[in-house]
């Protein structure tokens, strides 16, 4: 669920450059391309194939690329290495994008695909969660990962497939079928893969997880990255809790000084603003937050100490920030409020009602429980049902799956990993789940990163290890369980 400018780039591993020419490779299929898989049908409106070179950090990989647009309105990109292809296909689901922005990978008419050559580089914009090009690099390039113990993990070139989705915002409902149908589109343009992996980052991690649980026979392994794997209701609750408590502690920012006037059901007035600009911008959600915090830093510190206890009695910090770095406290608020300001109207429209519910939740401040009848919210049952369908995981995990998260993620908190680990364990499928919290054991001493999807090389390690797990049937020892991290995540 990226804001689009967040954190680390995988560019430390690869120079993201695709140089393509309209030559080489077999011609695309003649006539209309219509495919169906598991009851999901799609028709290609237009497509084009190109051959060229993908510039990795230490090698030039010859690739064949097919780009296209379907009649449902989603763009797709398919990439296959020309040499040394491992036979693997990585089907990737991208993260959250601003619902006010037109969906799609490129803004070109369907019969003008040569312009896609210029637009294809834009797929790498954003971080791993928002930029499809970052995941493309992970798939297409080869890596040798030396952990300093045991045999190095080898990752050979894989093919890659991704959909833009036909809608932006909280697009799980359309993202699942439009990503899954890539499994049927790919062999219409290229040889069928030997193994297929499904991956996704941020909101795309939830899309990947739903595909994993729903269609286990179609995939050999899965790797959701920094995703809300505990489910949509848990993620929306987190954002709602942060908004509610911030507005309670700082009522002057949005509620004219009155805690009784807080109404989470009404979206905040746009624009969101630029978190990196602080107060040096016009009236915006960001400016109001920064101004309020600047005037009263002690109250922000008190907000950072707030904990919440859910109906089960589990207690955890409200804000996901690095306790050793006080600057991350404000950033944590700003990151959560992106979805408050940009996504709430879209979410309410999708769900047909307000989804936030804090029934049975108790907030604890420095003086004990925060008791105020004005702080109670009950969700619309229609909205709860919608987000249960799109998506509350089942825990029925039938294929090897590695989830990756950094500990201090202010957008999609790492406590999602604990929630999903519990589901999988209860369902009896714990042997198929490995959860990696950055930094990995074996990668040496690294500062634990703060931010959403704030890692790069760990994703390479995770995918190389997942590949070894799938191919050998034995989970590599670099992949552990959640048990040793559980207390810290809670």
* In a shared domain, residues 335 and 457: no
Length of the chain: 490
414-445 pLDDT per residue, tens: 999 999 999 999 999 999 999 887 765 545 44
**Residue 104 pLDDT grade (very low, low, confident, very high; cuts 50, 70, 90):** confident
* In a shared domain, residues 200 and 135: yes
* In a shared domain, residues 381 and 423: no
Residue 441 lies in a domain: yes
The better pLDDT of the pair 52, 98 is held by 98
Number of domains in the chain: 2
Give Cα separations from 393 to 26, 380, 408, 420, 482 (angstroms). Answer: 41, 20, 23, 8, 18
Cα 87 from Cα 111, distance rounded (Å): 31
Query: Over pLDDT 90: what percentage of the chain?
Result: 58
Give the 3-state DSSP-derived string for 232-267, with helices as H, strands as E and coil as C.
HHHHHHHHHHHHHHHHHHCHHHHCCCCHHHCCCCCC
The better pLDDT of the pair 123, 65 is held by 65
* In a shared domain, residues 35 and 69: yes
Q: What is the dihedral of CA 440, 2, 202, 387, to 10 degrees?
A: 150
Average pLDDT, the chain: 84
Cα 386 from Cα 377, distance rounded (Å): 18
Residue 103 lies in a domain: yes
* In a shared domain, residues 89 and 113: yes
Cα 328 from Cα 321, distance rounded (Å): 6
Please report the pLDDT score of residue 16 as a whole number.
33
* In a shared domain, residues 126 and 206: yes
Mean pLDDT, range 35-45, rounded to an integer: 96
- DSSP state, residue 309: E
Please report the pLDDT score of residue 101 as a whole number.
86
Number of neighbours of residue 325 by Cβ within 10 angstroms: 13
* In a shared domain, residues 155 and 112: yes
- Side-chain-side CA neighbours of 138 within 13 Å: the count stands at 34
* In a shared domain, residues 294 and 201: no
Q: Which of 140-154, 206-220, 330-344 has the highest mean pLDDT?
A: 206-220
Residue 4 lies in a domain: no
* In a shared domain, residues 455 and 382: no
* In a shared domain, residues 198 and 52: yes
| Residues linked to residue 43 through DSSP beta bridges, in sequence order | 34
Q: Which domain holds residue 436?
A: 10-229+393-489
The better pLDDT of the pair 123, 178 is held by 178
141-190 pLDDT per residue, tens: 888 877 666 677 778 899 999 999 999 999 999 999 999 999 999 999 99
pTM of the model: 0.90
252-268 pLDDT per residue, tens: 999 999 999 999 999 99
* In a shared domain, residues 27 and 64: yes
Residue 370 lies in a domain: yes
């Amino acid at each position: 669920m990226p804001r689009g400018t967040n954190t680390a780039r995988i560019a430390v591993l690869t120079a993201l450059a695709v140089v393509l020419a309209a030559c080489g490779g077999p011609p695309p299929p003649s006539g209309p391309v219509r495919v169906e898989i598991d009851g999901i049908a799609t028709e290609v409106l237009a497509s084009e194939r190109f051959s060229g070179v993908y510039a990795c950090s230490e090698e030039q990989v010859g690739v064949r690329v097919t780009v296209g647009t379907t009649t449902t309105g989603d763009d797709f990109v398919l990439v296959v290495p020309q040499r040394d292809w491992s036979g693997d296909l990585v089907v990737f689901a991208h993260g959250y994008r601003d619902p006010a922005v037109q969906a799609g990978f490129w803004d070109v008419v369907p019969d003008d695909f040569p312009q896609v050559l210029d637009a294809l580089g834009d797929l790498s914009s954003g971080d791993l969660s928002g930029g499809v090009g970052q995941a493309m690099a992970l798939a297409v390039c080869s890596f040798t990962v030396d952990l300093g113990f045991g045999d190095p993990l080898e990752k050979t070139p894989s093919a890659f497939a991704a959909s833009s989705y036909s809608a932006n915002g909280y697009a799980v409902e359309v993202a699942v079928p439009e990503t899954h149908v890539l499994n049927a589109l790919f062999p219409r343009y290229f040889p069928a893969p030997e193994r297929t992996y499904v991956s996704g980052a941020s909101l795309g991690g939830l899309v990947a997880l739903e595909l994993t649980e729903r269609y286990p026979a179609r995939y050999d392994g899965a790797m959701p990255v920094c995703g809300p794997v505990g489910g949509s209701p848990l993620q929306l609750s987190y954002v709602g809790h942060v908004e509610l408590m911030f507005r309670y502690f700082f009522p002057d920012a949005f509620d004219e000084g009155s805690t009784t006037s807080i109404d989470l059901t009404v979206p905040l007035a746009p624009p969101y603003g630029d978190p990196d600009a602080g107060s040096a911008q016009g009236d915006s959600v960001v400016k109001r937050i920064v101004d309020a915090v600047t005037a009263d830093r002690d109250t922000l510190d008190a907000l950072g100490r707030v904990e919440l206890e859910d109906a089960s009695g589990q207690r955890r910090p409200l804000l996901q920030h690095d306790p050793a770095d006080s600057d991350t406290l404000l950033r944590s608020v700003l990151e959560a409020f992106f979805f408050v300001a940009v996504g709430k109207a879209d979410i309410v429209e999708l769900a047909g009602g307000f989804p936030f519910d804090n029934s049975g939740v108790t907030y604890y401040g420095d003086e004990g429980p925060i008791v105020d009848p004005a702080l109670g919210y009950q969700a619309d049952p229609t909205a709860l049902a919608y987000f249960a369908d799109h998506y509350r995981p089942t825990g029925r995990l039938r294929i090897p799956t590695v989830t990756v998260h950094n500990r201090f993620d202010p957008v999609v908190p790492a406590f999602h990993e604990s929630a999903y680990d519990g589901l999988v364990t209860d369902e009896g499928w714990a042997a198929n789940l490995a959860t990696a919290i950055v930094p990995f054991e074996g990668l040496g001493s690294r500062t634990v990163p703060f931010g959403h999807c704030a890692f790069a090389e760990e994703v390479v390690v995770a995918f190389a290890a997942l590949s070894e797990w799938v191919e050998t049937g034995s989970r590599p020892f670099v992949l552990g369980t959640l048990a040793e991290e559980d207390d810290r995540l809670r």
